[in-house]
Structure 1
Amino acid sequence: MSDFQHQAIRLTTQQQPVTWLESLRNKATDEWLAQPWPTRKTEHWKYTPMQALHKTIFHTWGATANQTLDKDLAEELIPLDAHRLVFINGVFDPVYSSKLPESIVRFSNANADQQALIQEHLGNIVEGDKHLFATLNNAWLDDGILVHVPRNVQLDKPVYIVNVVTAMAAVSNQRVLIVLGENSRADVVEHYFSRDEVQNGFANSLTEVHLADGANLHHYRLNLEEEHAQHIGAVHVDLQRNARFRGFALALGSSLMRVDYQLNHRGQGAELDLQGVYLPRNQQVVDYHTNVCHWVPHCTSNEVFRGIVGDSAQAIFNGCIYIHQDAQKTLAELSNKNLLTSNKAEVNTKPELEIYADDVKCAHGATISQLNNNARYYLQSRGLSRAEADVMLSFGFINELLEQIAQPVVHDYLQPRLAKLFGRDNSLNDASALAELADD
């Protein structure tokens, strides 16, 4: 058992959770203390550098005093006409949050019916021993957000959940529970960002999604924190008959950034479309682990992740598709493409297929490459400088996925920011060192 595990449990004594969550917290606490700390020999944590987290000492939760966004941070909000909830270091900010409809409520304000719904669905998608930090999230659970859309209802506006981190040695535990009834529809945007100052806190976030028959969810998870932040998160999804989940993930990278996706096809005709982009540079780390499980026949999944890794940064991608023996007529595809812009950059990619059915159509693949010299030469011959050509080629590598973002305001928010990032950060587009090696 590690010092971090003991320290994490000591933090629970500083919380004042709602009483009806105590049983889940107590069970998770016992599970957390009983689980071994991951090492290089732990398969799903083999390439994730846990040393920084293991050595970090956190003494407190986010500030409990009333606090709100300053002008600079407020300008980073997506200008989305939405039901907005803002949290600063895990603490709810009523000033910048909007008035919420009955379908969106914090756990601490839930009525009896909503409490029963939360207890029915919370923590029921995955087994805790397979998701270590989901167990920790349960042990730290003192509040959360419930998004419940009843059957045959389409939420009038997107749900915009903002988590802001400031430079303080504190912990935040973020929990979202999304329950969509039959034939309902919603858009949810989770936005994580921070001040420009060096961050020295830790965020543990978990989103659970239960989609009933015919439900449709568009989900966006944007990790745009400062590069020294530490964040471990997860998105767990259950899809019932004819349900559809369309997800988009973006991470710029930090000292430790890991996000796990666990997606389960529980009903026939369920559809999954998950796309992701990661852009680590300097000495940042980004780690995406995805596990798509087809338990029943006639389901579809399409997964595409692309990364651009510069400087001495490290990216990890582990994507697994599991086809149960009863999941006949499955269509599943997985693609991971990576672009290295430095000879010190590193990618560990591992696409996996486990197929136990004999009537399926599946494909998976991964590529690691550098900028194409012929394409660069072509652009330079048309009057572009080498730097401009590199920016165009690098940004074009991910722009195909950005153009498929269904929510136009999110697209319009991200595209200029990423374009500016490429223009000012040579680590994302300067492949001159690799090009010179290739020319020798």
Structure 2
Amino acid sequence: MSDFQNVALQLAEAQHSPDWLQSLRERGALSWSSARWPTRKTELWKNTPLQPLQSDMPSRWAAATGTDWQQDIEQIDIDATRLVFVNGQFMAELSSDLPAEIVRFADADVAQRQVIEQKLGTVVDAERHLFAALSNAWVADGILVQVPRNRSLDKPIYVLNVSTPEAEPAVSNQRVLMVLEDGSQAELIEHYVSADSKQNGFVNSLTEVIVGQNAQVQHYRINLEQEDLLHVGGVHVNLHRDARFHGFTLAQGSRLKRIDYQVNHRGEGAHLELHGVYLPRNKQLIDYHTNVEHCVPHCTTNEVFRGIIGDSAKAVFNGRIHIHPQAQKTLAELSNKNLLTSPNAEIYTKPELEIYADDVRCAHGATISQLNETSLFYLQSRGVERAEAISMLSFGFINELLTQVPEQAIQDYLRPRLTTLFGQGSELLGQLDYE
């Protein structure tokens, strides 16, 4: 085992958790301790070194702080059921009164505990996803969202996860279990954020979503933490017959940022719509790995990711769609487009189609490019300054995905921040000379 694996097990042993979660924790600890630590030769991690975890090894659990962070962090302005976590600790005084459909693991009654025990850890494959095993070993609290049959939640669920620096590097573990029964609907917003001050934490976050027959989920995952924060996260989804999952994710990079999406089509007629944007700069790294399993016939997937990589940043995108032999009449499309705005920027993109059925319609593609010189010249000839022209074209590269975000409050939150980001010229757009 690596040094970090040993430290992580020590943290798990030192953590207090309910007895009824002990079985899952033990299974997670066993998977974590028996797993090989990823190296450059490990296919799923070959472009994403885990050295930051080894060099700045966290040795304690993060603690909740006061409310000073509110001066530096702007929340999404939305009428929603709000749950606030600071360094993984629930802040009841800053959160909404929770409806019956939402409960913390710590407050679950007998019936809710049974749901958590039966469902938690069943969507994610801890053997394939190393840090999901760690999440299981660390689980002590979390959120259960259970929407009854043919019901819709009155408001979106807004989970705000705030990270603040501490005297020593520390860890936090964040867990969400969402169970939608047949015919139900819900909207979940997960917002990971920190102040601009230098961070020294590690966040391990895992969301599991079970979408029943003819149920529908609108899910958002926004990662806008300061670049020194280490973050590994995952969204794992099971789609049953005629279920719908619409996802949007946007993230800036950090010294280590890895986000996995695992979606399993379990019932015929299920549909996945997944859009993503990543924006690393400086010397940041961001890695998106998506894996869609078409296990049954008549399911559809539309996946679109776009990245803008500047300065000396590095991005990794690995998108895999696996069509099983019995998954006839599948319709699946995957697109990944990347814009390099610096000669030192890097992108490793690998779209994959693995097809074992013969009656399917599937397509995938990836592009890597610089800004179009003709378009730049056109804007400059109309009096637009060069730096502003580059910013305009860069923003336009991802604006198509932003305009498709159904929740207007999220559009309103992101647009001014991205406009500011693109306006920083040399920081995001690098020093690339198009002349």
Report the Cα distance in structure 2 between the residues aligned to 1:432 and 1:61, rounded to whole angstroms: 42
Deviation for aligned residue 1:69: 5.1
* Pair 322,69 (structure 1): closer, same or farther in 2 beyond 3 Å: farther
1:135 corresponds, among 130, 133, 136, to 133
In 2, Cα distance between the equivalents of 1:343 and 1:166? 33
Does 1:267 find its partner at 2:270? no
Q: Does 1:175 align with 2:175?
A: yes
1:78-101 CA distances to partner (integer Å, 9 max, x unpaired)?
111111100111111112111000
Structure 1 CA distance for aligned equivalents of residues 45 and 397 of structure 2:
28
Output the amino acid matched with 1:384.
Answer: V
Which residue is 2:217 aligned to? 217
Question: Which amino acid counterpart does residue 48 of structure 1 have in structure 2?
Answer: T
Q: Is the 8 A contact 1:282 1:313 kept in 2?
A: yes
C-alpha separation between the residues in 1 aligned to 2:432 and 2:240? 49
Aligned match of 1:249: 249
The structural deviation recorded for 1:416 is: 1.2
**CA offset digits 1:79-127 (Å, max 9, x no partner):** 1111110011111111211100010000000001101111111101132
- Quick one: distance in 1 between partners of 2:234 and 2:400? 25
Which residue number corresponds to residue 405 of structure 2?
Answer: 405
C-alpha offsets along residues 308-361 of structure 1, whole Å, 9 cap, x if unaligned?
000100000000000000000000000000000111100000000000000000
Q: 1:83 — aligned with what?
A: 81
User: 8 Å contact 2:340–2:369 — kept in the other structure?
Assistant: yes
TM-score (norm 2): 0.98
1:422: Cα distance to partner?
Answer: 0.7
Matching residue's letter, 1:67: G
User: Which residue of 2 is the match for residue 321 of structure 1?
Assistant: 321
Which AA in structure 1 matches 2:85? Answer: F
Listed one character per residue, the Cα deviations across residues 156-212 of structure 1 (whole Å, up to 9, x for unaligned) are 000000110011221000000000011110110000001111111100000000000
Q: Which amino acid aligns with 1:106?
A: R
CA distance in structure 2 between the aligned counterparts of 1:260 and 1:71, rounded to whole angstroms: 29
Match of 2:296 in 1: 296
Inter-partner Cα distance in structure 2 for 1:430 and 1:143: 42
2:398 counterpart of 1:421: no
Cα offset for 1:55?
A: 2.0
What is the one-letter code of the residue matched to 2:59? H
Partner-residue secondary structure (3-state), 1:128: coil
8 Å CA contact 1:68–1:96 kept in 2: the answer is no
Task: Check conservation: 1:271, 1:301, Cα contact below 8 A.
Answer: yes
Question: Quick one: structure 1 residues 69 and 118, their matched pair in 2 at CA, closer, same or farther if it must change by over 3 Å?
Answer: farther
The one-letter amino acid paired with 2:83 is: L
Residue 113 (structure 1) aligns with: 111
The answer on 1:149 being equivalent to 2:147 is yes
1:383-417 deviations in Å (ceiling 9; x for gaps): 21111111110000001000000011111111111
2:34 maps to which residue?
A: 34
Q: Which residue of 1 aligns with 2:240?
A: 240
**Structure 1 residues 199 and 52: CA distance shift in structure 2, 3 A:** same
Aligned AA for 1:8?
Answer: A
Q: Give distance in 2, aligned partners of 1:430 and 1:255.
A: 18
Give SS of 2:234's match. Answer: strand
Q: State the one-letter code of the partner of 1:99.
A: D
1:307-386 superposed matches below 5 A: 307-386=307-386
What is the deviation of 1:431?
Answer: 5.6
The structural deviation recorded for 1:70 is: 3.8
Cα distance in 1 between the residues matched to 2:227 and 2:125: 31
Aligned AA (1:253): G
Q: C-alpha distance in 2, partners of 1:9/1:138?
A: 11
| Aligned partner of residue 426 in structure 1, secondary structure | coil
Which residue identity lines up with residue 404 of structure 2 in the other structure? Answer: Q
Please tell me whether the aligned partners of residues 380 and 386 of structure 1 are also in contact (alpha carbons under 8 angstroms): yes
State how far apart, in whole Å, the 2-side matches of 1:227 and 1:344 are. Answer: 18
> Which piece of structure 1 moves more, 49-58 or 204-213?
49-58
Task: Assess if the C-alpha contact under 8 Å between 2:123 and 2:237 holds in 1.
Answer: yes
TM superposition outliers: structure 1 runs of 4+ over 3 Å: 66-71, 429-432
In 1: Cα distance, 2:289 partner to 2:202 partner: 19
Query: How far is 1:56 from its partner?
Result: 2.2
Contact 1:370/1:431 (<8 A) preserved: no
Per the alignment, residue 67 of structure 2 pairs with 68
Shift of residue 71 of structure 1? Answer: 3.6
TM-score, structure 1 as length reference: 0.97
| SS across alignment from 1:162 | strand
CA drift of 1:427 comes to 3.5
- Contact 1:62–1:170 (Cα < 8 Å) also in 2: yes
Q: What's the CA shift for 1:425?
A: 4.0
- 8 A contact 1:390–1:430 mirrored in 2: no
Check if 1:8 corresponds to 2:8: yes
Provide the C-alpha distance between the structure 1 equivalents of 2:68 and 2:129, rounded to a whole number of angstroms.
33
Task: Find the counterpart in structure 1 of residue 54 from structure 2.
Answer: 54
1:125 to 117, 123, 126: 123
- 2:283 alignment partner AA: Q
Is contact 1:380–1:389 with CA below 8 Å preserved after alignment? Answer: yes
The DSSP-based 3-state class of the residue aligned with 1:432 is coil
Taking a change above 3 Å as real, the CA distance of residues 199 and 349 of structure 1, as seen in their structure-2 partners, is same
Query: In 2, are the aligned partners of 1:167 and 1:195 still within 8 Å (CA)?
Result: no
8 Å CA contact retained: 1:272, 1:302? yes
Letter in 1 for 2:136: N
Measured against aligned partners, the alpha-carbon deviations of 1:212-233 in whole angstroms (never above 9, x if no partner) come to 0011000000000001110000
Q: 1:19 to 1:68 in 2, by over 3 A?
A: farther
Contact 1:387 1:430 in 2 (8 A): no
- Output the CA distance in 1 between the equivalents of 2:280 and 2:13: 36
Number of residue pairs the alignment of both structures matches: 433
What is the CA–CA distance in structure 1 between the aligned matches of 2:105 and 2:70, rounded to whole Å? 29
Give the gaps of 5 or more residues in structure 2. Answer: none
Q: 1: CA distance between counterparts of 2:3 and 2:69?
A: 36
